[in-house]
Amino acid sequence: MDQLANLKLFLDIADDSEDALLELYLKKARRFVINYCEINENEIPDNLLGVIEDIAVFKYRLKGVEATKAETRGGISESYYDKLPDDIKLELDSFKTPYITAGG
């Protein structure tokens, strides 16, 4: 199953109406992972493909509330994460290229 199909499964999207947007989220997530982990496009390990999907799902779910921290409607308060969840960051950190310093 390709990444787009996985995303649609996670998000319970059955048709193709969101495909272009989902592809954009995947592309941006892929670029983020490449930059964060300081790896080349062709060096993305298979284990990071799921992380790319997780980031794309997370960002998709933020759609429309990107600048909102919290809101209240009818007595119900909702808070939104504006940063990647810790489990995603920990997974990314395990693939990040370590810096080697002189004398260390």
Tokens coding 86: 């810790």
pLDDT at 52: 97
pLDDT at residue 71 above 70? no
The pTM for the full model equals: 0.78
> What's the whole-number mean pLDDT along residues 58-73?
72
| Alpha helix stretches (DSSP H) within the chain | 3-10, 19-37, 46-61, 86-93
pLDDT at 88: 94
Say how far apart CA 41 and CA 81 lie, in whole Å: 28
Q: Are 78 and 71 in contact (CB under 8 A)?
A: yes
Which helix (H) or strand (E) segment holds residue 78: the answer is: strand 76-79
Domains of the chain by residue range: 3-93
Burial class (CB in 10 A: 0-12, 13-18, 19+), 3: middle
Stronger pLDDT, 58 or 70, i.e. the higher one: 58
> What's the whole-number mean pLDDT along residues 34-54?
93
Bridge partners, 28 (sequence order): none
